[in-house]
Structure 1
Amino acid sequence: MKSSHTLRSSAGWNQVNEDECRHASQVLEVVGQRWSPSILLALARGAERYSDIMAVVAGLSARMLTLRLKQLETAELVARTVVPTTPVMVRYHLTPRGDDLITALQPIAGHVQRWEIDGGQSTPSS
């Protein structure tokens, strides 16, 4: 097993600059907020309407969904489309950037599944 020092000095990390780290932090700040990953996942799984998202994300309040959708739109991860029907219908979907982010989050989800956090100590799960 490689030491953490070896991992940090690998060639891949030498190619990452400070601007990229700052941009990654900005994206992770939005995505890391409570409910954001669940909303993105709901959209990735086919939810399109506000009520669809509310139905699949247990415990999410209407106020918080509205706030998070606006933040995800501002971050260009989610797009809002108004369908001119009577009554007006609003649909949400992942943008290409949001879809790409879901793909990028899969290794993190795998990491979380492999490691259990128990009383502040990390232990690999079998």
Structure 2
Amino acid sequence: MTSAQTDRAAVPWAHTDEADCQHASRILEIVGQRWSPSILLALARGAQRFTEITTVVAGLSSRMLTLRLKQLESARLVERTVIPTTPVSVRYRLTPQGLDLITALQPIAGFVQRWEPRDRS
């Protein structure tokens, strides 16, 4: 990397302090847990109900989905809405922060597609 490239790469970090890094670490810790990215992706693609998410995310148990949804909700990435019908209906959706995070994760997904070999078995 040339000096000019290094300088350009550092610019986005010019206004980042330690508190920002610690907050980013907390969010990445939640998002980095197993199943969280798949749940966020399912919601970004239109899944709204609990059963829709479990159908779209193969191998995800109901117990784990409940746990992850609570974590994502407490991080303000997912919003839970109870619809007072009989029986009660619950819908999940990404918050504006969750939608923004999906956008921020796209370059990471591109990196993975370019550099991480897929298990073809």
The corresponding residue for 2:38 is 38
Aligned to 1:72: 72
Q: Which moved more, 1:31-40 or 1:12-21?
A: 12-21
Deviation of 1:10 after TM superposition, in Å, equals 2.4
Letter in 1 for 2:57: V
Q: Quote how far apart the aligned CAs of 1:114 are.
A: 1.1
Summarize the Cα distance change of 1:59–1:9 in structure 2 as closer, same or farther, 3 Å threshold.
closer
Unpaired runs of 5+ residues, structure 2, are none
Q: Which residue is 1:19 aligned to? A: 19
**Higher helix content, 1 or 2:** 2
2: CA distance between counterparts of 1:57 and 1:9?
35
What SS does the corresponding residue of 1:10 show, helix, strand or coil? Answer: helix
Distance 1:7 1:67, change over 3 A: farther
Structure 2 CA distance for aligned equivalents of residues 14 and 48 of structure 1? 38
2:53 maps to: 53
For each residue in 1:4-23, what CA deviation from the matched residue of structure 2 results, as whole angstroms up to 9, or x when unmatched? x9369723223211111111
Work out the CA distance in 2 between the residues paired with 1:7 and 1:115: 24
The runs of at least 4 aligned residues of structure 1 exceeding 4 Å deviation read none
| TM norm structure 1 | 0.85
Consecutive unaligned residues of structure 1, counting only runs of 5 or more, are 119-126
Compare relative contact order (CA 8 Å, sep 6+) and give the higher one, 1 or 2.
Answer: 2
Alpha-carbon distance change, 9 to 107 in structure 1, aligned in 2, over 3 angstroms: closer
Once the two structures are superposed, what CA deviation does each residue of 1:43-72 show, in whole Å capped at 9, x if it has no partner? 000000000000000000110000000000
Secondary structure of 1:82's aligned partner: strand
Structure 2 distance, partners of 1:7, 1:26, is 27
Q: Percent identity?
A: 70
The residue number in structure 1 matching 2:92 is 92
Give the deviation of 1:30 after TM superposition: 0.4
The alignment yields a C-alpha RMSD, in angstroms, of 2.1
**Deviation at residue 96 of structure 1 after TM alignment:** 0.5
